[in-house]
Chains A and B, each alone.
Chain A
Amino acid sequence: MKKLFALTAAVFFATVAYAQEAPDVLVQRVTEDVLEIIRKDKDIQNGDTRKVIELVDKKVLPNFNFTHMTALALGKEWRKATPQQQTQLTAEFKTLLVRTYSNALTSYKNQKVVYKPFKMGAAETDVLVRTEVLQPGSKPVQLDYSLEKLDSGWRVYDVVVAGISLVTNYRDQFNQEVRNGGVDGLIASVAAKNRSLEANSAKSEKK
């Protein structure tokens, strides 16, 4: 009985600890996990898109808030979109981001990630975790993550590479599409982009 109690307590505390994992610890854990897998996986290093997307799906995506990312990419127009449009756009935007940036992981070669010192107040719910990617002969590349605290834990809602937000960099393009064809036009454009990327990668796999 005593043993069972101890075990239950251990599981309970482990779960709590996991849910309250600090944002900088989360970023470091996920980064190192993913790099460790890529270092060992020759298929990914040779550009296997499907395999790297699988990896990102499993390890990275659960830590992202794509609804927030999509809202941030669209800006003011987001609130004018219907819930259904928001859901559709989020799904398409997620597909686009996952595909393009997963592919970037296949070009990983021995770069090292350095985690910058991180401090936050106990009450903060929106933080920036800063890292740097080092590679021989090149300037270090700044790689920062914006995270927000949700009930379920910390979630990434923006990734900033060398000062360039991969999310807000879409703002003007998205608004242009909305001006041309409304939110539905934007959804259609992103979907069309996804289909053409899918077709391209299918073609290159056949080769």
Chain B
Amino acid sequence: MIDSFGALGGRMGRSWALGGLVALACAGAWAGENPLDPYEGFNRPMFAVNEVVDKYAAKPVAQIYDNAVPLPLKAGVGNFFGNAGDLWVGVNSALQGKFSDAGIDLSRLLINSTVGIFGLFDVASELGLEKHDEDFGQTLAVWGVGGGGYLYWPVIGPRNVRDTFGWGVDFYADPLMRVRPVSVSNSLAGLRFVDIRASLLPSDKVVEEAALDKYAYIRDAYQQRRRNQIFDGRPPRLDD
């Protein structure tokens, strides 16, 4: 469900991670039957918890935001967070050896931060500088690190072991989390959370209606989507 959010402050992130490790150690004890999902016994209850949190908190807030805020302003918010992420995207492009991509990412940051007024307008895309989709989990994958088992976390949603670690690194590298005072950085994190959740509203209904088993549908979609991201949109064909 939810994609990337460095919401809720660092301390909370750490305690989630610690709780996760403990839970993971327990989950090993009831390893499931599906080889693609060894921690299913841990994941399903976490998924159920998240469904409830989403239904009563995250989704209603996102719906209010989506209805109340006019489209140009929503686009500005999305662009702003996209721009704030472009430096780290560029670092990851470089770490993966894609230096011309990294150059584009950096140019985007410079153009959008200035001509694009603090990133509110994505002028660089209009100029043909395409936005890339990179994060540290993908970098690790390119370096040959395997995914590890699939995990479903409260709040941050689906991530395999590698991407959970990658998410932690992304989180600490996030410039918005270094903004002070903390109240501002928390507000930004909250707004980004709502923005991302709102952008997923249209797909909610599709998943709800399409899935025979929503948990499995989201898990398999996550795996396919990550594979696509790692190969930059051109994954080699799998045998059917």
Please tell me if the beta carbons of B199 and A138 are within 8 angstroms of each other in the complex. Answer: yes
- Interface flag for A107 (CB, 8 Å): yes
**Shortest beta-carbon distance, A125 to chain B, in Å?**
15
- Kindly identify, within residues 98 to 148 of chain B, every residue whose CB is under 8 Å from any CB belonging to chain A: 122, 131, 133
Our pick among B72, B210, B220 for the contact of A172 (Cβ within 8 Å) is B220
Provide the A170-207 mask, 1 if CB < 8 A to any CB of B, else 0.
11111011000000000001100100010000000000
Nearest A-chain residue to B120, judged by Cβ: A137
Given contacts A139-B82, A142-B233, contact A164 B228 (CB under 8 A): yes
B75 to chain A, nearest CB (A): 3
Residues of B within 8 A of A103 (CB): 205-206, 209
Residues 59-118 of A at the B interface (beta carbon under 8 Å): 72, 75, 96-97, 99-101, 103-104, 107
Residues B212 and A169 in contact, CB atoms below 8 Å apart? no
Give min CB distance, A56 to chain B, whole Å.
Answer: 14
Q: Which one of B36, B199, B224 lies within 8 Å of A163 (CB-CB)?
A: B224
State the CA gap A169–B74 with chains docked (Å). 31
Q: Which of B183-240 contact A (CB under 8 A)?
A: 199, 202-203, 205-206, 209-213, 216-217, 219-221, 224-225, 227-229, 233, 235, 240
- The reply to whether A138 and B78 contact each other, CB–CB distance below 8 Å, is yes
Q: Could you say which of B78, B202, B217 contacts A107, with CB atoms under 8 Å apart?
A: B202
| Given A100-B206, A137-B79: A142 touches B212 (CB 8 Å cut-off) | no
Set of chain B residues within 8 Å of A171, measured between Cβ atoms: 220
For the complex, is A28 an interface residue (Cβ under 8 Å from B)?
A: no
Q: Which of A72, A97, A104, A173 has a CB less than 8 Å from the CB of B217?
A: A173
Question: DSSP majority for the B interface?
Answer: helix
B240 contacts A168, C-beta separation under 8 Å: yes
Interface residues on B, range: 35 or more
Nearest chain B CB to A117's CB is how many angstroms away?
A: 13
Q: How far is the CA of A99 from the CA of B211 in the complex (A)?
A: 12
Question: Complex: how many Å from CA A107 to CA B209?
Answer: 15
**CB-based nearest B residue for A126:** B237
A96 to B211, CA, bound (A): 9
Q: Are A100 and B209 in contact (CB under 8 A)?
A: yes
Q: Are B202 and A104 in contact (CB under 8 A)?
A: yes
Asked whether any CB of chain A lies closer than 8 Å to the CB of B12, the reply is no
Inter-subunit contact B209/A197 (CB<8 Å): yes
A residues within 8 A CB of B78?
136-138
Say yes or no: B225 contacts A162, CB within 8 Å.
yes
Q: Do the beta carbons of B221 and A172 come within 8 Å of each other?
A: no
The reply to whether B199 and A189 form a contact with Cβ atoms under 8 Å apart is: no
Given contacts A99-B209, A100-B206, A137-B79, contact A172 B71 (CB under 8 A): no
Out of B212, B217, B220, name the residue touching A190 (CB < 8 Å): B212
- The 10 closest A-B CB pairs, nearest first, are A163-B228, A137-B75, A137-B78, A136-B75, A100-B210, A100-B209, A107-B202, A164-B224, A173-B212, A164-B221
Interface residues of B (CB under 8 A from A): 34, 36, 71-72, 74-79, 82, 122, 131, 133, 199, 202-203, 205-206, 209-213, 216-217, 219-221, 224-225, 227-229, 233, 235, 240
Q: Could you jot down 13 A-B contacts, CB within 8 Å? A: A103-B205, A136-B71, A136-B78, A137-B122, A142-B228, A163-B233, A168-B240, A171-B220, A172-B34, A173-B217, A176-B213, A190-B212, A197-B209
A residues adjacent to B (C-beta < 8 A): 72, 75, 96-97, 99-101, 103-104, 107, 136-140, 142, 162-166, 168-174, 176-177, 189-190, 193, 197
A163-B233, A164-B225, A170-B212 given; name 19 further pairs at CB < 8 Å: A75-B240, A99-B209, A103-B209, A137-B71, A137-B78, A137-B79, A138-B199, A139-B133, A163-B229, A164-B221, A166-B210, A168-B240, A169-B217, A172-B220, A173-B211, A173-B213, A173-B217, A174-B212, A189-B212
